[in-house]
């Protein structure tokens, strides 16, 4: 059974840092691209980054809104994905989801979401 468990969310002051974790099981973790997606209250979904697989050189890409502040990493030996968030802004407040894109399956695996609140 496919399962994702996210953790690490919480309250942080502007300018602070937070690291989200995503523990995966039940599918070929190493063969899936990692995506992090967020949703601010009352807003739509927003992709905040992607990391490919080892076969694609663990390439990462980020939108301008988080580039230079957010970093995605993975540990294929532990089936873990991470999102390191630095220099956090109030506009980063959202529910953050980890998600996985599997070839021939699409982005069909999603975590339950973890809430990040950036406030003083």
Partner 1 sequence: QSVLTQPPSVSAAPGQKVTISCSGSSSNIGVHWVSWYQHLPGTAPKLLIYEDDNRPSGIPDRFSGSKSGTSATLGITGLQTGDEADYYCGAWDNSLTAEVFGTGTKVTVL
CA distance linking residue 45 with residue 21, whole number of Å: 19
Considering only residues 32-61, where is the footprint of partner 1 by CB under 8 A?
A: 35, 37, 44-50, 61
CA distance linking residue 26 with residue 93, whole number of Å: 30
Q: Which is nearer to partner 1, 61 or 75 (CB)?
A: 61
Is residue 68 near partner 1 by the rule CB under 8 A?
Answer: no
Is residue 106 near partner 1 by the rule CB under 8 A?
Answer: yes
Q: Are 2 and 112 in contact (CB under 8 A)?
A: no
Task: Find the shortest distance in angstroms from Cβ 52 to partner 1.
Answer: 12
Q: What are the two backbone dihedrals, phi and then psi, of residue 31, each rounded to the nearest 5 degrees? A: -95, 10
Indicate which single residue of 72, 88, 111, 116 sits in contact with partner 1 (rule: CB under 8 A).
111
Rounded to 5°, angle at Cα 9 from 97 and 73:
60
Is residue 62 near partner 1 by the rule CB under 8 A?
Answer: yes
30 strand-pairing partners: none
Positions that interact with partner 1 (CB under 8 A):
35, 37, 44-50, 61-65, 97, 99, 105-108, 110-113
């Amino acid at each position: 059974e496919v399962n994702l468990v996210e953790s690490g969310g919480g309250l942080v002051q502007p300018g602070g840092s937070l690291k989200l974790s995503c523990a995966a099981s039940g599918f070929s973790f190493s063969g899936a691209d990692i995506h992090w997606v967020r949703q601010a209250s009352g807003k739509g979904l927003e992709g905040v980054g992607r990391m490919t697989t080892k076969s694609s050189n663990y390439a990462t890409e980020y939108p301008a809104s988080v580039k230079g502040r957010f970093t995605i990493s993975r540990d294929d030996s532990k089936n873990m994905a991470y999102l390191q968030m630095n220099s956090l802004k109030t506009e980063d407040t959202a529910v953050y989801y980890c998600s996985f894109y599997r070839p021939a399956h699409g982005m069909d695996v999603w975590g339950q979401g973890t809430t990040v609140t950036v406030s003083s």
